[in-house]
A and B are shown apart, each in its own frame.
Chain A
Amino acid sequence: MLPRRGAPEAPQRGAKAVHEHTALLRELHRTMLLIRRFEEAAAKAYSQGRIGGFLHLYIGQEASAVGALSALGPEDYIVGTYRDHGLALARGMSARACMAELYGKATGCSRGMGGSMHFFDASRKMMGGYGIVGGHVPLAAGMAFASKYRKEKGVTLCFLGEGAVSIGDFHEALSLAALWHLPLVVVVENNEYAMGTPLERTLSVADVSLKALAYGMARDRFRADDVLTVREHFQTAVQRAREESLPTLLEVQTYRYRGHSMSDPGKYRTAEEVEARKRNDCVHRAELVLQEWGVTEEELQAVGRSVEAEVEDAVRFAEESPEPSEELIEALTYA
Chain B
Amino acid sequence: MRELRIREALREALAEELERDERVFLIGEEVGHYQGAYKVTEGLLARFGAARVIDAPIAEAGFAGLAIGAAMVGLRPVVEFMTWNFSAVAFDQILNNAAKVRQMSGGQFTCPVVFRGPNGAAKQVGAQHSQCFEAFYTHIPGLKVVCPATAADAKGLLKSAIRDDNPVLILEDERLYGVKGPVPDGEHLVPLGVSRVAREGERATVVTWGKGVAPALQACERLAAEGTQCAVVDLRSLRPLDHGPAAESVQRTGRALVVHEAWPYGGVGAEVVDRLQRECFGALQAPVLRVTGRDASMPYNKTLEDLVVPSADTVLRALRALLAY
Which residues on A are within 8 Å of B, measured CB to CB?
77, 79, 108-114, 118, 120-122, 127-128, 130-132, 135-143, 145-147, 149-150, 168-169, 172-173, 175-176, 179, 328, 331-335
Q: Is the CB of A120 within 8 A of B104?
A: yes
Distance in angstroms between the alpha carbons of A138 and B68 in the assembled complex: 8
B287 close to chain A: CB less than 8 A: no
Total B residues in contact with A, Cβ cutoff 8 Å? 43
In this complex, the member of B89, B93, B101, B108 whose beta carbon has the largest number of chain A beta carbons within 10 angstroms is B108
- Please give, as numbers and ranges, the residues of chain A lying within 8 Å of B74 by CB-CB distance: 146
B69 close to chain A: CB less than 8 A: yes
Q: Is the CB of A132 within 8 A of B96?
A: yes
Partner of A114, one of B89, B104, B110, B142: B104
Q: Is the CB of A110 within 8 A of B106?
A: yes
Distance in angstroms between the alpha carbons of A298 and B48 in the assembled complex: 64
List 16 extra interface pairs beyond A121-B108, A168-B89, A175-B62, CB under 8 A.
A110-B108, A122-B105, A128-B109, A132-B92, A138-B63, A138-B65, A139-B97, A140-B69, A141-B65, A141-B66, A147-B73, A168-B61, A172-B59, A172-B65, A173-B65, A334-B166
Q: Is the CB of A145 within 8 A of B70?
A: yes
Distance in angstroms between the alpha carbons of A140 and B69 in the assembled complex: 6
Q: Is the CB of B93 within 8 A of A135?
A: yes
Residues of B34-71 whose CB lies within 8 A of A: 51, 56-57, 59, 61-71
Partner of B106, one of A113, A127, A172: A113
Residues of B164-215 whose CB lies within 8 A of A: 164-166
B275 close to chain A: CB less than 8 A: no
Q: How far is the CB of A5 from chain B (nearest CB, A)?
A: 37
Residues of B11-34 whose CB lies within 8 A of A: 25
- Please give, as numbers and ranges, the residues of chain B lying within 8 Å of A79 by CB-CB distance: 69
Distance in angstroms between the alpha carbons of A176 and B79 in the assembled complex: 15
Partner of A176, one of B63, B103, B104: B63
- Please give, as numbers and ranges, the residues of chain A lying within 8 Å of B63 by CB-CB distance: 138, 172, 176
Q: Is the CB of A143 within 8 A of B106?
A: no
Given contacts A110-B106, A135-B96, A176-B57, A149 and B75 within 8 Å (CB-CB): yes
Q: Is the CB of B68 within 8 A of A120?
A: no
Partner of B65, one of A127, A169, A328: A169
Q: How far is the CB of A75 from chain B (nearest CB, A)?
A: 11
Given contacts A120-B106, A149-B70, A332-B102, A135 and B97 within 8 Å (CB-CB): yes
Distance in angstroms between the alpha carbons of A179 and B77 in the assembled complex: 18
Partner of B62, one of A112, A173, A331: A173
Q: Is the CB of A172 within 8 A of B62?
A: yes
- Please give, as numbers and ranges, the residues of chain B lying within 8 Å of A176 by CB-CB distance: 56-57, 59, 62-63, 66
Distance in angstroms between the alpha carbons of A131 and B103 in the assembled complex: 14
- Please give, as numbers and ranges, the residues of chain A lying within 8 Å of B77 by CB-CB distance: 142
Q: Is the CB of B105 within 8 A of A120?
A: yes
Distance in angstroms between the alpha carbons of A172 and B65 in the assembled complex: 10
Partner of A333, one of B72, B97, B105, B141: B141
Q: Is the CB of B109 within 8 A of A120?
A: yes
- Please give, as numbers and ranges, the residues of chain B lying within 8 Å of A122 by CB-CB distance: 105, 108-109
B107 close to chain A: CB less than 8 A: yes
Q: Is the CB of A112 within 8 A of B65?
A: no
Distance in angstroms between the alpha carbons of A140 and B66 in the assembled complex: 7
Q: How far is the CB of A33 from chain B (nearest CB, A)?
A: 28
Given contacts A122-B109, A132-B96, A335-B165, A145 and B66 within 8 Å (CB-CB): yes
- Please give, as numbers and ranges, the residues of chain A lying within 8 Å of B59 by CB-CB distance: 172, 175-176
- Please give, as numbers and ranges, the residues of chain B lying within 8 Å of A147 by CB-CB distance: 73
Q: Is the CB of A146 within 8 A of B108?
A: no
Distance in angstroms between the alpha carbons of A143 and B141 in the assembled complex: 24
Q: Is the CB of A142 within 8 A of B103?
A: no
Distance in angstroms between the alpha carbons of A118 and B108 in the assembled complex: 12
Distance in angstroms between the alpha carbons of A139 and B93 in the assembled complex: 9
Distance in angstroms between the alpha carbons of A121 and B164 in the assembled complex: 23
- Please give, as numbers and ranges, the residues of chain A lying within 8 Å of B51 by CB-CB distance: 149
- Please give, as numbers and ranges, the residues of chain A lying within 8 Å of B108 by CB-CB distance: 110, 120-122
